[in-house]
Amino acid sequence: MLFTVGTLTVWIPRRVGHLVDEMVAGRLTDTLILQQLGILLLMGVAIYFLRVGWRMQLFVASYQLGVHLRTELYKRLCLQGPDFFQQQRTGDLMALGTNDADAIELAAGEAMLAGFDGTLTLVMVLAMMFLGVDWRLALIALLPFPFMALAFKRITQQVHDASHEALTCFSQLNGQVQESLAGVRTVRALGLESRNASQFAVLAEQAADASLRAQRWEAGYEPAVGLALTTAGFLTLSLGGYLVWHAQMSIGSLTSFTMYLGQLIWPMFAAGWVLSLVERGRAAWRRLEPVLGLPLSIEDAGTITTPPHGSVQFSDVHFAYSEQAQAALQGVSLTLKQGTTVGLVGPTGSGKSTLIRLLLRQYAAQQGSINWGEHQLSDYRLENLRGHISWVAQEPFLFSASVAANIALGKPDATQVEIEQAAQLAAVHDDILRFPLGYDTPVGERGVTLSGGQRQRVAIARALLTNSPLLLLDDALSAVDTGTQTSILQHLRGARVGRSVLLVSHRLSAVADADNIVVLRHGKITEQGTHVSLLEQDGWYASQWRYQQLEAALDEL
């Protein structure tokens, strides 16, 4: 379609020049003139529909590229571990999937369209000017264009730099907005609205200045093209008039050449437009490509897709965070038998949450091994492994949806009865019924309309509904009172039949009924046993138990 458009486009001036010569010679009748005009009209209509057709094809491809880039970015982000997100800002990552992907999409669509069309038109027009009209006119007409190319080179570099700066500024602006909205309660509580507004205004001004600078340089393409074409037109008419005056060229040929020169306007303007879009796309790709090419924090090289089952065993596991000199876990050996409950306690910073992160494969053990059944965790596909683990964090995340939708997140086809049963087990059913819309009540972004204890209990209900073989509770009862904790634990005793449970808690009363209790201190297991045996050992667990019991008794006074 593109080649046909180019052929018809360069053929029209040829036909017009021929008609002018025929009219000057007096060889055209009214009928022939109408026929020739009809042919020209049909050619114009054909060009229109062919342009629409091939542009639709190319734009579809560019939109598909945009979808592909965003999908690949999203997949990549979902597979990255905590280390990656500790080094990135959410606003920057959001900008990569919006503004930067848009810039690349435009480069693949608009720029490629204009580039192909302009290049083909330029080649065919120049060929007709040199071979079909007069090579002398063609040479003199091209004299200004090397100077235009030098101007384009200078402008293009400036557009690239300004576009990269504009995209970076937009990312910073995006990050500021995201953090301000996420922490709006803290901002209001500390009275930081004015300071945040000032910071936003500065970032917005920087983004606007960078975009304006890019636009100013882009505006330089048009004057460069206009000056080159004006000079070419002056040189062409001067030499062409001389040749016609001396009967070395016909008026029709000069007319054709002038029309061809007019057709160069589009390729020249297209060149500036293409360079502008391509440089924006290149600047965007410079930011997006490192994120897409960054190695995954945890390689998903496992091949086992069958459901894991059996005991979970830690064997001499060592792990240290890159930014910390001291190891978070040192020589940890622990067995969680299938269908049993293990309580994990210890002071803050002892490595309890780290152990759960290793079990979830958010990090990989640097020494030792972690097995589930007969296979190491790394042998399982990540999706398969995590799909059979229910995890409730100390600060659970709720999506901006209804209470029912958040509980049914891991089991979208759950019935209302199943959702309510899970809520009853998590001791949150009565709270939900007091909401204005019950289970249909929106919880707001991150569950902002719920209290901390309600968010934790909704997350526990979500975990119980999925009925995974392994349940991880990472201090998931820290925001509820002791009475509610007792109720939830009583419900869990019946619900966890056949499930392995790893219960992390600072409240020792939460783990008192566990089959095995493990005490972690400074990344090492210092005590292990049942509640009764640990009290008899009279170590850290026993002293902490007496302290917490005394504290609870004083609270009741």
pLDDT over 80 (residue 16): no
**Is pTM beyond 0.75 here?**
no
Per-residue pLDDT of 200-257, as tens digits, reads: 888 888 888 888 887 787 777 777 777 877 787 777 777 777 777 777 767 766 766 6
Please provide the CATH number assigned to the domain covering 2-293: 1.20.1560.10
User: Do 2-293 and 307-388+469-528 show the same overall fold?
Assistant: no
Q: Give the whole-angstrom CA distance, residue 39 versus residue 425.
A: 81
Q: Give the whole-angstrom CA distance, residue 46 versus residue 4.
A: 9
Contact 107, 167 (CB under 8 A): no
Residues 6+ apart with CB under 8 A from 158: 217
Average pLDDT over residues 509-528: 88
Positive/negative CA dihedral, 441, 447, 451, 457: positive
Closest to 20 measured CA to CA, from 241, 254, 237: 254
Residue 329, SS3? strand
Which of the four pLDDT bands, split at 50, 70 and 90, describes residue 133?
low
- Structural domain boundaries of the chain? 2-293, 307-388+469-528, 396-467
Widest distance between CA atoms in the chain: 122
Q: What is the DSSP letter of 328?
A: S
Residue 37, SS3? helix
Which pLDDT score is estimated for 318? 92
Average pLDDT over residues 104-112: 82
Could you give the angle at which helices 482-495 and 416-425 cross, rounded to 10 degrees? 120
Contact 118, 274 (CB under 8 A): yes
Which pLDDT score is estimated for 555? 65
Mean pLDDT of the chain: 81
- Class of residue 167 by CB neighbours under 10 A (exposed 0-12, middle 13-18, buried 19+): buried
Q: Find the DSSP H helices in 219-350.
A: 221-245, 251-263, 265-293
Average pLDDT over residues 293-306: 81
Q: How far apart are the first and last CA of the chain?
A: 88
Residues 6+ apart with CB under 8 A from 339: 497, 498, 499, 500
Reading the block at residue 112, the tokens are: 């490629």
pLDDT over 80 (residue 448): no
pLDDT over 70 (residue 496): no
Could you give the angle at which helices 251-263 and 112-127 cross, rounded to 10 degrees? 160
* 375-376 vs 367-372, strand pairing mode: antiparallel
Least confident of 251-265, 355-369, 489-503: 251-265
Radius of gyration of the chain (CA): 36
Average pLDDT over residues 174-187: 74
Task: Choose the CATH number for 396-467 among 2.60.120.260, 3.40.50.300, 1.10.10.10, 1.10.357.10.
Answer: 3.40.50.300
Task: Choose the CATH number for 307-388+469-528 among 3.90.1150.10, 3.40.50.300, 3.40.1000.10, 3.50.50.60.
Answer: 3.40.50.300
Q: Give the whole-angstrom CA distance, residue 128 versus residue 126.
A: 5
Contact 361, 385 (CB under 8 A): yes
**131 compared with 347, residue with greater pLDDT:** 347
Residues 6+ apart with CB under 8 A from 418: 411, 465
Which pLDDT score is estimated for 207? 82
Per-residue pLDDT of 392-442, as tens digits, reads: 887 888 888 888 888 888 888 888 998 888 888 888 888 888 888 888 888
